[in-house]
Amino acid sequence: MRLLVVALGSRGDVVPALGLAPALIAAGYEVTIAANPEFGGLVREAGAGFVALPGDARTISSFPRGWRSSPRFLAAQARALTTYLIDAVDAVVDAAPGHHVLLPNLTARFADDVAEGLGIPSIGLYAQPAEPTAAFPPILLHTARDLGGVANRFSARVAMAVATPFHAAARRARAAVGLPARRRAPRLNRVLHGWSPHVLARPVDWRPGLSVAGYWRPRIPPGWAPPAELVDFLDAGEPPVLIGFGSMAAGQDGWLSDVVARAVRGRRAIVQRGWAGLEAAGPDVLVVGDVPHDWLFPRVAAVVHHGGAGTAGAVFSAGVPGVAVPVYADQPLWADRARRLGTGPDPLPFTRLTGSALAARIDAVTTSPGASNFRGAAAELAGRIAADDAVGPVLAALAELPGSPG
């Protein structure tokens, strides 16, 4: 059975597919992953076939300093996201024939329409929650502030109704496969969510067919070895703090590097460049490029990150405290979960980021009298996550389909 996993978005959106691919291949499935061109090498290292989707996720993850949810800014972001999604539609339509199942992530939900037009099953593999619930506010509001049960559900319905980029992509997909326009967005019968139920439990008001499986974490690439400079730095002293914003904050003007430099002054730190191109200098500071999270995170004292689903999951799984600096979408949700679970301090929103504020959050999880509480909670949570069977529910869902090797 041939599977097409559509992993549209930044690295955090691709990571779950990289984690699942080896297990699906071992179970007898032929796996192809469709993603943006820069992830081709990672996909092939996971043993899967690769289809390049046009576009660059940096176009939808670049935020100016102190950005706010102003109508003008949100309109510009909507236009950028619409272009990004529509550009990918035709490539998915071209790649889908010959596959028996489509497995789209949340960003690529238009693939559900492609599957409908081709008459094949589609199972969602979402790293973020999209279904309305009373349990928490919708991620499209860019906040974790609880509005109350009724308001949470209502605002989620409204947010999806006005999510014009996704509707535009769905219209393009339906037209491309010869389907009439749909008045409402499709609702998949089966969606598996790639986070641990110990981090965020399945909402009790979700409909049947929606489940929380666990984190689909990628393995460290075969033959990969850490840079000697990094190993030497880690061996030279106490575990450092790691700071990186991953795929967020692309196109910054250097102010973010200045903030980071002030925050790490006087402490051992590793700074990951990421899409923001972070730089920092100092006798106890090392700047690195891409390093597998599952190798690096367990070796540091704490991780400062943007709160994206992939990075947050890696921090939770590593058993180290995290300091979240959320920017938008689902990031405030995961940052708030860290606070509630006791694995991190109060989130520091990106719009309020300063060197002193970040230094205070780092102190809270590393040197303050309460730092041991954060470390203990993080280690305990990681132990529970390690017991999750994240792949099993995916294999079970596929096994129910006609022709499955399972």
Task: Name the nearest CA neighbour of 374 among 337, 320, 334, 325.
Answer: 320
| CB-based contact 118:95 (threshold 8 Å) | no
* Residue type present at position 51: V
| Alpha carbon distance, N-terminus to C-terminus of the chain | 10
Neighbours of 135 (CB within 10 A): 17
- Measured distance CA(106)–CA(109) in Å, rounded: 5
| CB-based contact 238:298 (threshold 8 Å) | no
| Predicted pLDDT at 76 | 75
Using CA atoms, how far residue 155 sits from 64, 158, 164, 260, 299, in Å, is: 26, 5, 15, 35, 41
* Residue type present at position 226: P
Neighbours of 111 (CB within 10 A): 30
| CB-based contact 164:82 (threshold 8 Å) | yes
251: which 2 tokens? 């196109």
| Predicted pLDDT at 239 | 97
Per-residue pLDDT tens listing for the chain (406 residues): 999 999 999 888 999 999 999 999 999 999 999 999 999 999 999 999 999 999 888 777 666 555 555 667 667 778 888 999 999 999 999 999 999 999 999 999 999 999 999 999 999 999 999 999 999 988 877 777 888 889 888 888 887 777 888 999 999 999 999 999 876 655 557 999 999 999 999 999 999 999 999 999 988 888 889 999 999 999 999 999 999 987 766 555 578 889 999 999 999 999 998 877 888 878 899 999 989 999 999 999 999 999 999 999 999 999 999 999 998 889 999 999 999 999 999 999 988 999 999 999 999 999 999 999 999 999 999 999 999 999 999 999 999 988 777 6
| Predicted pLDDT at 219 | 86
Q: Which domains does the chain have, with CATH numbers?
A: 2-216+390-399 (3.40.50.2000), 228-386 (3.40.50.2000)
Using CA atoms, how far residue 209 sits from 116, 137, 140, 188, 202, in Å, is: 18, 21, 22, 8, 11
Burial degree of 292 (CB within 10 A; 0-12, 13-18, 19+): middle
| Predicted pLDDT at 185 | 53
pTM of the model: 0.93
Determine the angle formed by the axes of helices 309-318 and 371-386, rounding to 10 degrees. 100
